[in-house]
Amino acid sequence: MEQSSEIILGENNKAANKNMYIFSFSGLNRDTCIEMFNVFLKNNYITYWRTDMSNSFYIVSTLSADIIRDHIHERLPDLRFLVVKMDIACGWITKESWTAINKYTNKKPRDLPGIVDDNQDTVSEIET
């Protein structure tokens, strides 16, 4: 399993009616979040996660933001974080991240401004 330090991906396609959320945090090692989200994948709390920014993750779940918040808080009670349901997005991110946003927010693919192309992006699936 090859794993990039820039973009990392986990997925479990068992659920339907999915929403995409942005999870943003402060004061925590990113590897701790990766471990937590892999546990969440195994427990079916989330069905997909991706990261390509140092303090944020894209997560997909059939659960509401407040239930996801409660699961995170239960595991990391002192963590400062925010879980926001993705609706309208704009910014400068990778093409692969825009593809995931379009897939999981049921938006039709379109010309996507704000694509970062650093030619070093790789995506690795993490087995669950």
- Mean pLDDT, contiguous 10-residue spans, the chain (128 residues): 46 68 93 93 92 92 95 95 89 86 70 51 34
- Residue 3 lies inside a defined structural domain of this protein: no
- Residue 122 lies inside a defined structural domain of this protein: yes
**Closest by alpha carbon to 86, among 16, 17, 13, 19?**
19
Whichever domain contains 65, its CATH number is: 3.30.70.260
The per-residue pLDDT for 115 is 57
Is-contact 83 21, C-beta < 8 A? yes
Structurally, the chain folds into a number of domains equal to 1
Instruction: Determine the distance from the C-alpha atom of residue 61 to the mean position of all C-alpha atoms in its chain, rounded to a whole number.
Output: 10
Q: What are the angstrom distances between the C-alpha of 46 and each of 2, 4, 90, 112?
A: 22, 21, 23, 26
The per-residue pLDDT for 9 is 58
Q: Which residues form the domain of 56?
A: 8-126
φ/ψ (deg, to 5) at 47: -115, -10
- Residue 1 lies inside a defined structural domain of this protein: no
Rounded to whole angstroms, the Cα distance separating 34 from 98 reads 20
Rounded to whole angstroms, the Cα distance separating 11 from 37 reads 10
Q: What is the pTM of this model?
A: 0.73
Sign for the pseudo-dihedral over CA of 93, 91, 57, 88: negative
Judging by beta carbons within 10 Å of its beta carbon (0-12, 13-18, 19+), is residue 27 exposed, middle or buried? exposed
- Residue 34 lies inside a defined structural domain of this protein: yes
- Residue 24 lies inside a defined structural domain of this protein: yes
Rounded to whole angstroms, the Cα distance separating 11 from 21 reads 14
- Residue 111 lies inside a defined structural domain of this protein: yes
Is-contact 128 41, C-beta < 8 A? yes
